[in-house]
Amino acid sequence: MQKQEKIVSMFDDIAPTYDTANRVMSMGVDISWRKKACDLSFDFYAKESIERITDVACGTGDMMGYWKKQSQKAGVDIKELVGVDPSVGMVDVAKKKFPEFSYHISKATQIPLEDSSSDILSITYGIRNVVERQEAFYEFNRVLKKDGLVVILEFMKDENKTLLKKLRDIYMHKILPYVGGAISKNLEAYTYLPDSIESFVTIQGMQKELEKAGFEILYTQSFSMDISTLMIARKL
């Protein structure tokens, strides 16, 4: 089985318990990261009406829910929310939670949307699972309108190792896999998570890849002992 297909199959398997495992492992703090990503994006985009927000690797739909909730607080009218994910199992869960949104079963490198059709494209804790990442960034650029935003939340490495980051690594490698594995009954899936972070591109490396794909970096910030990083970039 090819690497990308194996990752998709893994997410199909853990889909029923995915939300519970995420909340427990992050102790709920991922909610504040998601809200901040939405709020900052609305500030940067500075429009009261948005035609379409596309959430790639939408999983069980969590981020789409926060786009809707935070837009209502900000007084921003979103005409359409579209979720894209290659995992049928994850999207089935999303459809039950948010039947009002639109969905496509598709890879991040083959988004079935028109050129320049989305105002904002988000991918939260999903770009790490995209094998052909640079191709995905080119695809994000194609789908976005000029001056549209790509919004990325991800567990990422930093080139600078501090004591806090060493403590984070202990949590990610020694504790998280067993918590996620106990909830999902799939230890392999949650062992994959820290391993995939370790082999993942650095923050600085991702910024360069986005710039290569035609984006201007607007904002980068890491949260909670640098466990999670938010990056917002504009299509030039």
| Beta carbons within 10 angstroms of residue 129's beta carbon | 24
Fold of 3-235: Rossmann fold (3.40.50)
Eight-state DSSP code of residue 61: S
- Residue 98 pLDDT exceeds 80: yes
Q: Residues 82-96: pLDDT tens digits?
A: 999 999 988 999 999
d(C-alpha 203, C-alpha 22), whole Å: 22
Question: What digits encode the pLDDT tens for the residues 104-122?
Answer: 999 999 999 999 999 999 9
Arithmetic mean of pLDDT, 166-174? 67
What are the residue ranges spanned by the domains of the chain? 3-235
N-term to C-term CA, the chain = 37
